[in-house]
Amino acid sequence: MKKNDLETQFAELKTKVETLTKEGAENKLSMIMFSGDLDKVLAALIIASGAVAMGMDVVMFFTFWGTPILRDKGKKVGGKDLMGTMFGAMLPKGAGNLKLSKMNMGGMGTAMMKSLMKKKNVASVEEMLAVAGELGVKIYVCEMSMDLMGFTREEMIEYPNMDFCGVATFLEEAKSSKIQLFI
Amino acid sequence: MKKNDLETQFAELKTKVETLTKEGAENKLSMIMFSGDLDKVLAALIIASGAVAMGMDVVMFFTFWGTPILRDKGKKVGGKDLMGTMFGAMLPKGAGNLKLSKMNMGGMGTAMMKSLMKKKNVASVEEMLAVAGELGVKIYVCEMSMDLMGFTREEMIEYPNMDFCGVATFLEEAKSSKIQLFI
Amino acid sequence: MKKNDLETQFAELKTKVETLTKEGAENKLSMIMFSGDLDKVLAALIIASGAVAMGMDVVMFFTFWGTPILRDKGKKVGGKDLMGTMFGAMLPKGAGNLKLSKMNMGGMGTAMMKSLMKKKNVASVEEMLAVAGELGVKIYVCEMSMDLMGFTREEMIEYPNMDFCGVATFLEEAKSSKIQLFI
């Protein structure tokens, strides 16, 4: 092989490696918070803080039943239409108001789990959300869900790193992540 | 380093880069449609069309409760055994017949959500499935689920890019995808 | 380009390729077994054995409602506190005791599905777990869930490749996997 040939081939290989590096997944975890159940949200937040502790970036997308978790129970928003008022009344008002996905038993199972969590020194969802904010976990809220359920930005919690987005933002983050979970 | 040594090492590196390129994930999204709930199917189809818009390939695997979504409500199939007839009667007949995973409230919540979707100009699941077909979203239906629930190919909807497969096909697609979701 | 320059650049490129190889995903599937529903566990175990058949490593993390699946119905453990005794009584005792996520209908739907599985020669969850063990599927059990629900290691099934772990172990496995699923 001539020296010039080697140089040309070397340059080609270099480009390929750069493409691989650029397209490769980042040390990042993306989670779609769809369900909004107490147990699933708890699991997701434990995974999130564990991932940050390991040096990963963490991005959480709150959509559908996950959206009301981010409502601030202390904020009141008026001027909603009938549907918005109904959804507002029926859906949980914030992270302190979630139910178990199983064995809720009219609230008894959920109360039992919460008392158990306290006894075992497991932080509440509200506390974990605050910690996630301090740890730099990024939260995106699905604009379409907000619109569908009649939620406004004004009734959401204060969180250091929260944005409102559509599906494209989620997909961009997810496809550059090493781990993606639909929860 | 001698020139020949460099050439040998270069060839080795080239092989490694080729392996990395071949084994690397494609710009593809794989989703397992397991649950068959109106809200989850809706989310999955919004993600699917968003991914296509971003230039990704999209593959959806319908299994278990996801399978009846693809039934054509206009098609009647006879000759089923007792179990097949019972499943046929109890499971939703097509995408127009799904329920919310939460707050179904005897159908009232689902009806409310559907009227809300219409008001907010969100397409129905049936419409979104048709669009997905036009956009080139690939659909696989799990043969084992079809067999278990007594569904036949004849009662499925017309869809431009639909095949019937087993778990191996799903895994091949999933492991070459940048994003995989179990929905 | 001088020969020495080429050598230096070659060495740099080699390092980059080594990093890419090291950070790249392994031919591995990680699943979080969160829900513990008969149908979802069944799907996960079918995916697991399919993946092994394709030469993949498979790791399953049992957490929350997934934890009681691994209880051995023949083992009795005393000395639990009130909460532990209550959870022990209310949660399914082992893989033979699971319910469908939908259409359980007071146990009728689940019984129907089980009889259907037998008729169609689909192995039971208990049988599939045993096969997974023989195939080398790795099982991790979430220590926090065990603690929360008051389960002890003594009441778990015998399984060839089972360990108890926290969230960090899961994340390490998941981020080096080609496929991750939250089930």
pLDDT band at A1 (very low <50, low <70, confident <90, very high): low
What is the greatest pairwise CA distance in chain C? 79
- Amino acid at position A108, single letter: M
**Mean pLDDT value across chain B:** 94
Q: How distant, in Å, are the alpha carbons of A13, A114, B37, C20 from that of A16?
A: 5, 53, 43, 12
Instruction: Name the closest residue on chain A to residue C147, using Cα atoms.
Output: A120
Q: Which chains touch A (3 or more CB pairs under 8 A)?
A: B, C
pLDDT for the residue numbered C4: 78
Work out the angle at residue A75's Cα, subtended by the Cα atoms of residues A69 and A80, and round it to the nearest 5 degrees. Answer: 90
- The CA distance from B70 to B119, in Å, is 25
From the CB of residue B56, how many other CB atoms can be counted at a distance below 10 Å?
A: 19
pLDDT for the residue numbered C118: 93
| Cβ C67 vs Cβ C98: under 8 Å | no
pLDDT for the residue numbered C23: 86
Contact between A32 and B182 using a beta-carbon 8 Å cutoff: no
Chain C residues in contact with A178 by the CB 8 A cut-off are 25, 174-175
Residues 6+ apart with CB under 8 A from B30: B59, B60, B61, B170, B173, B174, B177, B179, B180, B181
Q: How distant, in Å, are the alpha carbons of A21, B64, B134, B156 from that of B68?
A: 42, 8, 21, 8
Q: What is the pLDDT of residues C33-54, one digit of tens each?
A: 999 999 999 999 999 999 999 9
B76: distance to nearest CA of chain A, Å? 35
Contact between A148 and B120 using a beta-carbon 8 Å cutoff: yes
Q: Could you tell me the two tokens for C137?
A: 């599927």
Q: What is the pLDDT of residues B10-50, one digit of tens each?
A: 889 999 999 988 888 999 999 999 999 999 999 999 999 99
Q: Which chains touch B (3 or more CB pairs under 8 A)?
A: A, C
| Cβ C183 vs Cβ C43: under 8 Å | yes
pLDDT for the residue numbered A173: 97
Contact between C167 and A56 using a beta-carbon 8 Å cutoff: no
| Cβ C157 vs Cβ A40: under 8 Å | no
B94-119: average pLDDT: 92
Contact between C112 and B174 using a beta-carbon 8 Å cutoff: no
Please determine, for residue B138, whether its predicted confidence score (pLDDT) is greater than 70: yes
Task: Give the E-state strand segments of B68-183 in sequence order.
Answer: 138-142, 162-165, 177-182
- The CA distance from B146 to B149, in Å, is 5
Please determine, for residue B72, whether its predicted confidence score (pLDDT) is greater than 90: yes
pLDDT for the residue numbered C75: 93
Interface predicted TM-score (ipTM) of this complex, two decimals: 0.93
Contact between B16 and C17 using a beta-carbon 8 Å cutoff: yes
- Which residue from B1, B6, B168 is facing C50, i.e. has the nearest CB? B168
Chain C residues in contact with A56 by the CB 8 A cut-off are 171, 175
Beta bridge partners of C165: C142
CA atoms B79, B81, B82, B88: torsion sign: negative
Q: For the whole model, what pTM was predicted?
A: 0.95
- Which residue from A13, A43, A122 is facing C34, i.e. has the nearest CB? A43
- The CA distance from B97 to B126, in Å, is 10
Higher pLDDT among residues A58 and C1, named by residue: A58
pLDDT for the residue numbered B83: 85
pLDDT for the residue numbered B101: 95
Q: What is the pLDDT of residues A132-175, one digit of tens each?
A: 999 999 999 999 999 999 999 999 999 999 999 999 999 999 99
| Cβ C71 vs Cβ C94: under 8 Å | yes
pLDDT for the residue numbered A111: 93
B63: distance to nearest CA of chain A, Å? 17
A171: distance to nearest CA of chain B, Å? 7
Contact between C6 and B3 using a beta-carbon 8 Å cutoff: no
Q: Which chains touch C (3 or more CB pairs under 8 A)?
A: A, B
The lowest-confidence range among A54-58, B170-174, C7-11 is: C7-11
pLDDT for the residue numbered B4: 78
From the CB of residue B145, how many other CB atoms can be counted at a distance below 10 Å?
A: 20
**Mean pLDDT value across chain C:** 94
Contact between B112 and A65 using a beta-carbon 8 Å cutoff: no
DSSP output for C34-94: -S--HHHHHHHHHHHHHHHHTT-EEEEEE-GGGGGGGB-TT-------HHHHHHHHHS--S
Q: In what order do the strands lie in the sheet with A177-182?
A: A162-165, A138-142, A57-62, A26-33, A177-182
- Which residue from A10, A101, A179 is facing C174, i.e. has the nearest CB? A179
Higher pLDDT among residues A160 and B103, named by residue: A160
**Mean pLDDT value across chain A:** 94
- Which residue from B10, B40, B101 is facing A10, i.e. has the nearest CB? B10
Chain A residues in contact with B13 by the CB 8 A cut-off are 13
C59-79: average pLDDT: 94
Q: What is the pLDDT of residues C3-32, one digit of tens each?
A: 778 888 888 999 999 998 888 899 999 999
Please determine, for residue B1, whether its predicted confidence score (pLDDT) is greater than 70: no
Half-sphere exposure of C89 (CA within 13 A, CB side): 8
* Among B51, B79, B31, B66, residue whose Cα is nearest residue B144: B66
Q: What is the pLDDT of residues C87-125, one digit of tens each?
A: 889 999 999 999 999 988 889 899 989 999 999 999 999
- Amino acid at position C30, single letter: S
- Which residue from C63, C175, C180 is facing A43, i.e. has the nearest CB? C63
Q: How distant, in Å, are the alpha carbons of B42, B69, C35, C144, C146 from that of A122?
A: 34, 40, 20, 9, 13
Long-range Cβ contact pairs of A125-131 (< 8 A, separation 24 or more): A125/A38, A125/A41, A125/A42, A125/A45, A125/A69, A125/A95, A125/A96, A125/A98, A126/A94, A126/A95, A126/A96, A128/A42, A128/A45, A128/A46, A128/A49, A129/A45, A129/A69, A129/A95, A129/A157, A129/A159, A131/A49
pLDDT band at A122 (very low <50, low <70, confident <90, very high): very high
- The CA distance from B54 to B51, in Å, is 5
- Which residue from B3, B40, B103 is facing A90, i.e. has the nearest CB? B103
Chain A contact residues (CB < 8 Å to C): 3, 6-7, 10, 13-14, 17, 20-21, 24-25, 27, 29, 39-40, 43, 46-47, 50-51, 53-54, 56, 101-103, 112, 116-117, 119-120, 122, 178-183
Residue C147 main-chain phi, psi, to 5 deg: -65, -45
Residue C32 main-chain phi, psi, to 5 deg: -95, 115
Please determine, for residue B3, whether its predicted confidence score (pLDDT) is greater than 80: no
Please determine, for residue A11, whether its predicted confidence score (pLDDT) is greater than 80: yes
Residue A74 is given by DSSP the state T
The lowest-confidence range among A17-21, A59-63, B4-8, B125-129 is: B4-8
pLDDT band at B6 (very low <50, low <70, confident <90, very high): confident
The lowest-confidence range among A161-170, B62-71, B141-150, C105-114 is: C105-114
Residue B91 is given by DSSP the state S
pLDDT for the residue numbered C1: 62
Chain B residues in contact with C57 by the CB 8 A cut-off are none
